[in-house]
């Protein structure tokens, strides 16, 4: 029975090689909606419902494992799930192994590769792996942080960090610094948050701290 929150309709597509389709029939696993395509592969579409594409993919895998796997092998070789609501999109935190980003159809794969501007390519499904992603990164990228001020930096995902000064823990010790994560997402709000939380209360003390006097190497002149 469909749950109340599983209101969004998705579509499972199966591309079944000609001979494998008749193996399904032999195993009495009928897909009456399957139609023969131009490349001698049968195409079948099955509706599935979920509250997100991630949930729809999970349910599709469960359905495939129960109904089809023993005949057609691994799901990633024959099954895709569409993205009718545009839930899959590229950003700095895009995870290829996230359930919501797996089993993508060709149309969605091409769109995401274009959005990624060279960071992603199509994964090779013929690896023999039990699970396979639709996309993979071309290479591991180093995160580049943006320096907003001398003490504020921002990560690629938009998180802002403040490098605050702490007093020395022992007499005669040096001032220390540590990085604090802020909840603000803009420079103006970050500056207000720093002031509100008192993160900058030791800054002036650190800047005004006098330098140690350097002993003179010159000998005193005789009186």
9-24 residue pLDDT tens: 999 999 998 888 888 8
What are residue 176's DSSP bridge partners? 166
**By C-alpha distance, which of 43, 35, 42 is closest to 13?**
43
pLDDT averaged over every residue in the chain = 83
**What does the alpha-carbon distance between residue 133 and residue 218 come to, in Å, rounded to a whole number?**
73
130-146 residue pLDDT tens: 568 999 988 755 668 89
H helices of the chain, in order, are 18-26, 53-67, 69-72, 106-116, 187-197, 203-208
Distance of CA 36 to the CA centre of its chain: 37
Residue 73: CB atoms within 10 Å: 12
**By C-alpha distance, which of 181, 182, 184, 92 is closest to 144?**
92
Q: Is the pLDDT of residue 128 over 60?
A: no
Q: Which residue ranges make up each domain of the chain?
A: 8-137, 146-207
63-112 residue pLDDT tens: 999 888 778 889 999 999 999 999 999 988 899 999 999 999 999 999 99
In the chain, pLDDT over 90 holds for what percent of residues? 50
- 120: tokens are 């992603």
Answer positive or negative: Cα dihedral of 15, 16, 18, 21: negative
**What does the alpha-carbon distance between residue 52 and residue 142 come to, in Å, rounded to a whole number?**
30
**What does the alpha-carbon distance between residue 173 and residue 202 come to, in Å, rounded to a whole number?**
15
- 167: tokens are 């007093």
pTM of the model: 0.58
What are residue 122's DSSP bridge partners? 135
């Amino acid at each position: 029975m469909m749950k109340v929150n599983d209101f969004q309709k998705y579509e499972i597509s199966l591309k079944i090689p000609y001979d494998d389709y008749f193996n399904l029939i032999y195993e009495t696993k009928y897909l009456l909606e399957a139609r023969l395509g131009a490349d001698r592969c049968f195409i079948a579409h099955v509706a599935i419902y979920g509250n997100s594409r991630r949930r729809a993919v999970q349910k599709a895998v469960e359905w495939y494992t129960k109904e089809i796997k023993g005949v057609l092998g691994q799901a990633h070789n024959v099954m895709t799930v569409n993205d009718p609501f545009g839930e899959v999109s590229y950003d700095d935190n895009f995870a290829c192994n996230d359930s919501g980003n797996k089993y993508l159809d060709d149309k969605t794969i091409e769109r995401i590769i274009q959005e990624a501007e060279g960071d992603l390519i199509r994964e090779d499904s013929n690896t023999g792996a039990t699970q396979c992603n639709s996309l993979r990164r071309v290479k591991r990228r180093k995160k580049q942080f943006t320096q907003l001020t001398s003490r504020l930096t921002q990560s690629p995902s938009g998180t802002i960090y403040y490098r605050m000064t702490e007093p020395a823990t022992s007499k005669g010790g040096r001032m220390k610094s540590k990085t604090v994560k802020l909840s603000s997402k803009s420079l103006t709000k970050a500056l207000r948050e720093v002031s509100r939380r008192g993160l900058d209360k030791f800054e002036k003390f650190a800047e005004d701290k006098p330098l140690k006097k350097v002993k003179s190497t010159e000998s005193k002149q005789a009186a």
